[in-house]
Amino acid sequence: MQQGLSGKKVLVTRAAEQAPEFLSALRAENAEPIEVSLIKISEPDSWQDFDQALNHIEAFSWIFFASSNAVESSIERAKSLALEQKLKTAKIACIGTSTLKALQLHGLECAFLPGDFVAESLIGEFPNAEESDNKAILWPRTNIGRDTIKIGLENKGWQVQIVHSYKTSDADQAAEEKLKELLENRELDFITLLSSQTVRNLKKLLVKISSGNIEVEKELLSNIRFAVIGPETAKTCQEAFERVDIKADTYTLAGLIEAMKRAN
């Protein structure tokens, strides 16, 4: 009888820049990870808003980072402008251990980290703005995604300015072809999904691969389990595929792997 994830084929759908850590962790469990990036990370269409905000960073009391991508892209841009020291002039709030680790690797401190690694926890735990506060918050992020943080914090009296520090887009043709091959050849045991956008991209590809036939889609996914991180990703997965098979108890890669091992 197999133990844990030994011999299990796990689809890693993260962007290519983010995949190596997950691939290594799965190999350490004797799983067989297969990388097919269903989401692409690139520079924003324009740096204008980010650059302007960075040059006037003293106008903000807080900077929010909700992903390691936002940290890396913001720091790289700041370095290219010789303005990296500017990022140390405001307090930083972040979500998640990977985001915290990315900040620390660049010598930046996180002054606020919510207990749970989701936007709702950040909103609930972050203090209300006081009359004496500088209420301006800078939020470097991607071009897509929820405005939950912005709306929630503005309801608490803060003023949140979103600037794009990177761009998220769909998978390329090579990813579609590889996914089609894996599904048709029954080569997968798990599909891991770490963001709602990845779920949506997967659904779009499956509609194309199955020519819009829901029964064909379900057949291609039969005997494959969806493993997700985070309540929002789980909700999107349920809406897209009418099921969520495995949910991480803690919203980290380690937490997802443990959940997969228990389910196996």
Q: Do 164 and 179 fall within a single domain?
A: no
Q: Do 145 and 247 fall within a single domain?
A: no
The torsion angle over the Cα atoms of residues 34, 264, 222 and 182, rounded to 10 degrees, is 10
Q: Give the residue from 168, 198, 213 where a domain finishes.
A: 168
Closest C-alpha to 63, from 93, 84, 104? 93
Q: Give the residue from 143, 168, 193 where a domain finishes.
A: 168
The reported pLDDT for the residue numbered 1 is 38
Q: Do 177 and 163 fall within a single domain?
A: no
Q: Do 223 and 208 fall within a single domain?
A: yes
In order of 93, 183, 244, the CA distances from 125 in angstroms are: 11, 42, 28
- Detail the DSSP E strand segments found in 109-165: 136-141, 159-164
The Cβ of residue 101 has, within 10 Å, a number of other Cβ atoms equal to: 15
Any idea what the CATH number is for the domain that residue 106 is in?
3.40.50.10090
2 within domain boundaries: no
254 within domain boundaries: yes
Q: Give the residue from 168, 188, 213 where a domain finishes.
A: 168
Q: Do 106 and 209 fall within a single domain?
A: no
Q: Do 88 and 155 fall within a single domain?
A: yes
Q: Do 67 and 104 fall within a single domain?
A: yes
- DSSP one-letter code for 81: T
Q: How far apart are CA 166 and CA 263, in angstroms?
A: 35
23 within domain boundaries: yes
The reported pLDDT for the residue numbered 209 is 95
Q: Do 59 and 154 fall within a single domain?
A: yes
Q: How far apart are CA 135 and CA 77, in angstroms?
A: 25
Q: Do 123 and 184 fall within a single domain?
A: no
Q: Do 124 and 149 fall within a single domain?
A: yes
138 within domain boundaries: yes
1 within domain boundaries: no
The reported pLDDT for the residue numbered 2 is 46
The reported pLDDT for the residue numbered 96 is 83
- DSSP one-letter code for 112: B
4 within domain boundaries: no
The domain tally of the chain equals 2
43 within domain boundaries: no
Q: Do 148 and 254 fall within a single domain?
A: no
Handedness of CA 64, 69, 75, 79 (dihedral sign): negative
Cβ-count burial 197-216 (b if 16+ within 10 Å, e if not) = bbbbbbbebbeebbeeeeee
Q: How far apart are CA 96 and CA 169, in angstroms?
A: 22
* Angle CA 209–210–215, to nearest 5: 155
| Local confidence pLDDT in tens for the 264 residues of the chain | 346 899 999 999 998 888 999 999 999 999 999 999 999 999 999 999 999 999 999 999 999 998 889 999 999 999 999 998 888 888 999 988 888 999 999 999 999 998 876 778 888 999 999 877 789 999 999 998 778 889 999 999 999 999 999 999 988 899 999 999 999 999 999 999 998 899 999 999 999 999 999 999 999 999 999 999 988 899 999 999 999 999 998 888 999 999 999 987
Q: Do 118 and 74 fall within a single domain?
A: yes
Domain that holds residue 132: 48-168
- Detail the DSSP E strand segments found in the chain: 9-12, 32-35, 39-42, 62-65, 91-94, 136-141, 159-164, 167-170, 190-193, 225-228, 246-247
3 within domain boundaries: no
Q: How far apart are CA 29 and CA 5, in angstroms?
A: 6
The reported pLDDT for the residue numbered 117 is 67
